Amino acid sequence: MQGPGDLDVLVPADPEGGNAGASPGLAMDAGPVDGVRRIAVLRANALGDYLMAVPALEALKRAYPDAELTLLATPWHATFLDGRPGPVDDVVALPPITGVSTYENGRTAPDALYDELRDRRFDLAVQIHGGGRYSNPFIRRLGARVTAGLRAPGAESLDRWLPYTHYHHDTLRFLQVAALVGGVGGGLEPRIEVTAADRAELARTLGLPPTGLVAVHPGATDPRRRWPVERFAEVADRTGRPVVVTGTRAEEDLVAGVVAAMRGPAIPVVGVLGIGGLAALYERCDLLISNDTGPRHLAAAVGTPTVAVYWCGNLINAGPLSRAAHRPLISWTTACPTCGADGVDPAAERCPHEESWVRDVTVDMVAEQAYDLLHGTSGESG
């Protein structure tokens, strides 16, 4: 699998540094905007972040079906969304810009980029990227007739805005922003379409996967969000199904650890599929067992049930919103297991330790939910 990783923090912090909300009730003039032909939406980060924004993008497209929706994003978005049905008509791959498309400091947007974007004459520019410290000035310079988005204390204002608060599910947060400009909500869980090109990539790379397949994804960019590999191995063995273990090149050791710890055979898939090919693989699986990571969102978006291990704070911001097909197992660890540093206060400085914070989730807890989804013992469907 190639492409971006997931958020690299245990507490899902605002990428622009805002953690508390501004005073409530300051959103201006919610409702549709007249004469909208071109819409720009800023959401320039990782796979899971994009997928959680899809319902808001669909809400905007539903409100303005004849408008062209341009996603201001990164190169992987352009590759993944090229030719893919969905609410995005066009992608502008931004260069690295601090707080907008990278976490690196000192990266400013070139004037030529602003000139290019202003030439597109956007009627509406929407910021669903963060608290606005960096992104709101960027959005304001696009020259759109109306701007809308999120605002943390100290961030520049937009024409229509909502306060950025820390513990708030991103999908719901973004739907509220879309509603500021008349966005019409639909489903809560994001869906993406697997294309013929995705399935062809899978076939070229792996051939035809076996039926009844269970996928395991043991990686997560932040080591604190990783469940131990030997526990993934035990749960995978207990399913009694053929197993595929997925990961990026950076996660090769984790994949190898799961495969080595399993009693039964497993197929390692490391860095050989793009995001589209990975979507096609997950589409053929009966279940994904994973950490809180972008591939979990991808599997869910193609209709595959998931069981995932979540730290409690991350579940609030990024967990599945339904339970018929998606089962999060929650770790209630709230302080570093090594030094006791607070992990709940978003303003607290991160300690240097990278020990897993999710070890209190047991094998039996995960195996029970996996069995339930594979065998339908709860009577739920979907």
8 Å CB contact between 167 and 313: yes
Q: pLDDT at position 377, please?
A: 63
CB under 8 Å to 3, separation ≥6 — which residues? Answer: 47, 76, 79, 80, 248, 274, 275
Q: What is the pTM of this model?
A: 0.90
> CA distances (Å), 64 to each of 172, 287, 343, in order?
20, 36, 41
What per-residue confidence (pLDDT) applies to 125?
98
Q: Which CATH number fits domain 196-375: 3.30.70.141, 3.40.50.2000, 3.40.1390.10, 3.20.20.80?
A: 3.40.50.2000
Domain boundaries, the chain: 38-180, 196-375
10 neighbors 314 (Cβ within 8 angstroms): yes
In the block, residue with structure tokens 């699998």: 1
Greatest Cα-to-Cα distance within the chain, rounded to the nearest angstrom: 62
CATH of domain 38-180: 3.40.50.2000
Cβ partners under 8 Å of residue 323, min gap 6 = 380
Question: What residues are paired with 307 via a beta bridge?
Answer: 289, 327
Alpha-carbon span 229 to 125, nearest angstrom: 43
Q: What is the pLDDT along the chain (382 residues), one digit of tens a residue?
A: 322 223 222 333 444 544 433 443 445 557 899 999 999 999 999 999 999 999 999 999 999 999 999 999 999 999 999 999 999 999 999 999 999 999 999 999 999 999 999 999 999 999 999 999 999 999 999 999 999 999 999 999 999 999 999 899 999 999 999 999 999 888 889 999 999 999 999 999 999 999 999 999 999 999 999 999 999 999 999 999 999 999 999 999 999 999 999 999 999 999 999 999 999 999 999 999 999 999 999 999 999 999 999 999 999 999 999 999 999 999 999 999 999 999 999 888 999 999 999 999 999 999 999 999 999 865 443 3
User: For residue 254, which of 283, 280, 223, 281 has the smallest C-alpha distance?
Assistant: 223
Q: Starting at the edge strand that comes first in sequence, how are the strands of the sheet with 285-291 ordered?
A: 267-270, 243-247, 213-217, 285-291, 306-311, 326-331
What does the mean pLDDT of the chain come to?
91
196-375 shares the fold of 38-180: yes
